[in-house]
Amino acid sequence: MPDRYRAKLVNSLSGFKSANLVGTADRHGQTNLAIFSSVIHLGSSPALIGLISRPDSVERHTLRNILDTGQYTINQIHSGIYLDAHQTSARYEKSASEFTQTSLTPDFMPDCTAPFVKESKVKYGLKLKEVIDITSNNTQFVIGEITQIICDNSAITTDGYLDIEALNTITVSGLDSYHTTNRLSRLQYAKPNQKPSVININGEPIENDFL
């Protein structure tokens, strides 16, 4: 397969991906913002998040800043900012902040030198915990621990589930396709010898004889 064709096909195989902007700053306060589709949940206690970085890609400013400062932010992308979010993947010079090149706005919080994205509705600060070299293809797996969460409290349901669909968080397929979502349902914790059971947005059982 030709390289580009192969890249597009293989990038579609893992399924839908998360869509996030990673905010960093260097030691002099020069900000950087980059879109990542590889942000992944690792564990909730401690609250750990992973992402894949390619040393030779446009994301190298992000990795360098994370290694230099130990701090970064992750900001969910919603449908209102996805065009600007995509634009951060252009290969800007290190001296050009993506915040200047797009209409996204840096926002600073106490105890974090890295910029948040003001327009994002779910965002959190992280401190670097571990960087793992993946020898199979020379990528790096960057693991951080969440230090602060900023989101609209009204989107947190009574059992702790955050309704990111209601906040218009988007998802990515392949290299460049962006999607909104429609909930099929939440499902009750599965048990042997019980049929799957629908729960409501707050995690409570509801009538679901139709299953």
Length of the chain: 211
Of 8 and 60, CB closest to a copy of itself: 8
- 6 contacts a copy of itself (rule: CB under 8 A): yes
CB 118 within 8 A of CB 106: yes
Using CB under 8 A, which residues numbered 33 to 62 contact a copy of itself? 37-50, 52
- 10 contacts a copy of itself (rule: CB under 8 A): yes
Tokens of 111: 């105890």
- 8 contacts a copy of itself (rule: CB under 8 A): yes
Give every CB contact of residue 160 below 8 A, 6+ residues apart in sequence. Answer: none
- Please report the sign of the dihedral spanned by the C-alpha atoms of residue 89, residue 90, residue 92, residue 98: negative
Least spacing, CB of residue 116 vs a copy of itself, in Å: 14
- Please report the sign of the dihedral spanned by the C-alpha atoms of residue 52, residue 101, residue 119, residue 165: negative
- Taking the C-alpha atoms of residue 121 and residue 21, their distance in angstroms, rounded to an integer, is 12
**Binding-site member from 29, 110, 111, 191 for a copy of itself (CB under 8 A):** 191
- Taking the C-alpha atoms of residue 17 and residue 147, their distance in angstroms, rounded to an integer, is 23
Using CB under 8 A, which residues numbered 72 to 111 contact a copy of itself? 74, 76-77, 79, 82-84, 86-92, 96, 101
> How many residues at the interface with a copy of itself, by CB under 8 A?
102
**Binding-site member from 55, 118, 177, 206 for a copy of itself (CB under 8 A):** 177
**CA angle centred on 203, ends 199 and 207, rounded to 5°:** 30
Of 50 and 64, CB closest to a copy of itself: 50
**Binding-site member from 100, 179, 204, 206 for a copy of itself (CB under 8 A):** 179
Least spacing, CB of residue 134 vs a copy of itself, in Å: 7
**Binding-site member from 95, 153, 154, 194 for a copy of itself (CB under 8 A):** 194
- 185 contacts a copy of itself (rule: CB under 8 A): yes
Least spacing, CB of residue 194 vs a copy of itself, in Å: 8
- 134 contacts a copy of itself (rule: CB under 8 A): yes
CB 146 within 8 A of CB 47: yes
Tokens of 28: 């002099």
DSSP bridge partners of 130: 143
